Amino acid sequence: MKLTTTKRLERLHDRYANGDLSRRTFLSLTAAAAASAGLSMPWMSRALAAVEQVRFDGWGGTVQDAIDKYAFQPYTAKTKIKVVQGTFGDENEIITKIKTAKPGDFQIVHSSGVNYYIKYINAGMNSEINEANIPNMANVLQPMIEPFRKLTPKLSAVPYDYGTTGIAYNTKVISPEEAKEKGAGLLLDKKYAGKVGGYADMTTRVWYAALATGQDPNNIKDIDTIWVKVRETRDLAKKFWSSGAELMDLLSKGEIVVTDAWSGRVAALQDQGHPIGYLDPAGSYAWMEDMLILKGSPMAECEELINFMLDPATSIAVAEGQSYPPSLDPTKVKLTEKIEKLPAFDKTGSMKALTFADPVYWATNEDAWTKQWDRIAKGA
Amino acid sequence: MKNRWTLYDPRLAWMLIAPVLLLLIFFLVLPIAVMAVYTFFTFVTAGVETSALTAANWHEFLTDSYYHGFLLKTLRVGAMTALLCGVLGYFPAYFIWATSFKHKWLLLLLLIVPFWISFTIRTFSWINILGEQGVINVALIKMGIISEPLPMLYTEGAVIMGLLHFLLPYMILNVYVSLESIDRTLISAARSMGCTSAQAFREVTLPLSLPGLAAGLLLCFVLAAGSYVTPQLLGSGRDALFGNLIYDTIMSELNWPMGATLSIVLFVVLGFFAAIYTRYMGMSQIVKGLGG
């Protein structure tokens, strides 16, 4: 569905009626719209034509396949608005691209929660969403929205899914009992030297080192011991993977037998019949993902797409496809049995069982720790 | 008549080279200049920098041995790769030159065929060859020669292997072009004066092909030392080269001023080696080599 001028004016009126706009602003915008309609030339209508496509950048692989199949394709069929897609393996990669592009070149990013949300805000890349245009946000878990709102009262992103980075292991080599007993310690078990993997990401490495040293990942007291543990894992590791596809490749080909891993990717491997087990040790790293709208994007169309994606039927289909629980509140929306069985699923809707990274704490240390991690990863 | 241009009129020469000159200025010189300016910008936080000028990035590079170690390691891997390319590439080039096979073009075509496949895909293919489930390990295990897979992938050896695969055609083409320019009557003359085949090769062919070999060495060295994809795909973190350091500084730490500093360092160091070569060997050999 293309947004017509009439619909835009109706929305403007709704915002005024809801108290989102002052009377003066409403009258000014209406007058400007009337003037532009009256003064417009034939070529201007083409230049100002309704948006025909929206740009989306995500993590690729099974996750994006599911979003494409269950959200974008039906959305395009319904509205004729095409969703042009790009992928990235590491979110910093897309931030770099956005930095070099002009506003509007990149529009919606499947972003990694509040840790990255801060980066977009610091770089001035964030937009302001009109939540009235996304009525399906009413079904989104409030504990997932709150951390974003703490950073920007006017949101730029809407939480979409969540998961954990737990421990994945090859069940032909490591028994579930052994995995349960050793938990995060498996990543430091010398028995598996040369067969250990891990995500090449500072937060994940520091998080699991904190668990291994008995520290609270959101309040690390002794960072030096953390780096010692990070080095220990590095020395045991065969490869630190940098994308979900690489993780799946390493595990399925038996190159590594234990690694920290994204719950959804492990679920996908299990669906494919690979002998891979998964467990979330105590304090396992939980994360959420959101649909972030960037500055310069066609807001109405992007909001409309996100609203479509949050429609329970769409969101559930995507969640089942990508194997990550949706951000829908299970106390408000009836979710399927398959979703309820997904790793990390929180049936209470309170999210209290999951440990998320404190965005402000991690943002404070991000620069120094990332630099140190990059060095350790290269043998320092 | 005075205003008519002559064939060697300098104005005509400038007009002819103007498009290329403009391209070089806008797409090479200017970006490098912008990058050079960026090295003096101040890093604030990931993805954010200010134009307040500082020498902090250069100070960090000059005083931090971490960077020096990587630079030396990169030069070492580049030199090793170039030398191996020289040793392994000379013989195929000599064979192609010396063969009496009437379809010599077919042999040259075989050299170029790998370029028809994406470089990344060619590099990825080594994972299926060197990996634990790769062709070599599976074959050796099935033959009972080894009981445990050999750790070949994600090592410096794998990185050098990948670089060799990528760079060998450049070396062979360089040496071949150099060999092709040798006047074969010189070899006949040497033979007629009593030289054996080996002596004729040592006294005539080898010395005359050295410029091509040297051009190949420089080309392979510069391309290997500046590589990023091969160590990323076939090496572990420890096998990273300076290019990976630049990538991580820009893409992972989002520290553009430091990333620009490291980029300029690599550019200057590799440029230095190219300049030395130009001074003593002349760039024409490389041009000849690249032109086939």
First to last CA, chain A: 55
Residues of B in contact with A375 (CB under 8 A): 66
The runs of H, that is alpha helices, within A101-193 are: 113-122, 142-151, 176-182
The verdict on domain A53-162+289-352 having CATH code 3.40.190.10 is yes
A89 CB within 8 Å of a chain B CB: no
CA-based torsion, B10, B14, B15, B17: positive or negative: positive
A122 CB within 8 Å of a chain B CB: yes
Residue of B nearest to A99 (CA): B47
3-class secondary structure per residue, A77-101:
HHHCCEEEEEECCCHHHHHHHHHHC
Phi then psi for A336, rounded to 5 degrees? -85, 165
pLDDT at position A316 is: 97
CA within 13 Å, CB half, A197: 30
Residues listed for chain A: 380
Burial A133-171 (b: 16+ CB within 10 A, else e): bbebbebbbebbbebbeebbeebbbbbbbbbbbbbbbbb
Q: Do A123 and B253 touch (CB under 8 A)?
A: no
pLDDT at position A375 is: 94
Residue of B nearest to A96 (CA): B251
> What confidence tens digit (pLDDT) does each residue in A248-283 have?
989 998 889 999 999 988 988 998 999 999 999 999
The average confidence (pLDDT) of chain B is: 90
**More reliable by pLDDT, A253 or B269:** B269
> What confidence tens digit (pLDDT) does each residue in B72-109 have?
999 999 999 999 999 999 999 999 999 988 888 899 89
Phi then psi for A291, rounded to 5 degrees? -100, 110
CA distance A325 to A160: 9
**More reliable by pLDDT, A30 or B270:** B270
Cα distance from B249 to chain A (closest Cα, Å)? Answer: 8
**Residues 6+ away with beta carbon under 8 Å from A341:** none
Q: Identify which of A230, A223, A233, A227 has the alpha carbon closest to the alpha carbon of residue A188.
A: A233
> What confidence tens digit (pLDDT) does each residue in B100-155 have?
888 888 998 988 888 888 888 999 899 889 988 899 999 999 999 999 899 899 99
Give the CA angle between residues A229, A201, B49 to the nearest 5°.
115
pLDDT at position B287 is: 55
Answer left, alpha or beta for residue A61, where phi above 0 means left and psi between -120 and 50 means alpha: left
A175 CB within 8 Å of a chain B CB: no
CB B154 within 8 A of CB B122: no
pLDDT at position A40 is: 46
A97 CB within 8 Å of a chain B CB: no
A119 CB within 8 Å of a chain B CB: yes
| pLDDT surpassing 90 at residue B234 | yes
pLDDT at position A46 is: 43
Question: Would you list the domain boundaries of chain A?
Answer: 5-47, 53-162+289-352, 163-286+358-377
Dihedral in degrees, nearest 10, Cα atoms A137, A140, A144, A150: 30
CA distance B13 to A90: 48
Give the CA angle between residues B223, B227, B231 to the nearest 5°.
140
A206 CB within 8 Å of a chain B CB: no
| pLDDT surpassing 50 at residue B181 | yes
pLDDT at position B243 is: 96
Residues of B in contact with A379 (CB under 8 A): 237-238
CATH assignment, B58-291: 1.10.3720.10
pLDDT at position A48 is: 46
The CA radius of gyration of chain A, in Å to the nearest whole number, is 22
**Residues 6+ away with beta carbon under 8 Å from A100:** none
CB A163 within 8 A of CB A280: no
Question: Would you list the domain boundaries of chain B?
Answer: 58-291
Residues of A in contact with B243 (CB under 8 A): none
pLDDT at position A28 is: 62
Return the CATH class of domain A163-286+358-377: alpha beta
CB A202 within 8 A of CB A370: yes
At residue B58, the 3 state secondary structure works out as helix
Residues of A in contact with B237 (CB under 8 A): 200, 234, 240, 377-379
Residue of A nearest to B137 (CA): A255
pLDDT at position A45 is: 45
pLDDT at position A19 is: 54
> What confidence tens digit (pLDDT) does each residue in B191-224 have?
999 999 999 999 999 999 998 999 899 999 999 9
A229 CB within 8 Å of a chain B CB: no
Cross-chain CB nearest to B251 (options A93, A239, A254): A93
Inter-axis angle of helices B206-225 and B256-280, to 10 degrees? 170
pLDDT at position A61 is: 85
| pLDDT surpassing 60 at residue B48 | yes
Residues of A in contact with B154 (CB under 8 A): 238-239
CA distance B263 to B39: 9
- Residues with pLDDT less than 70, chain A: 1-50
The runs of H, that is alpha helices, within chain B are: 10-24, 30-38, 56-63, 65-98, 104-112, 119-130, 135-142, 156-180, 184-192, 197-200, 206-225, 229-234, 242-247, 256-280, 284-291
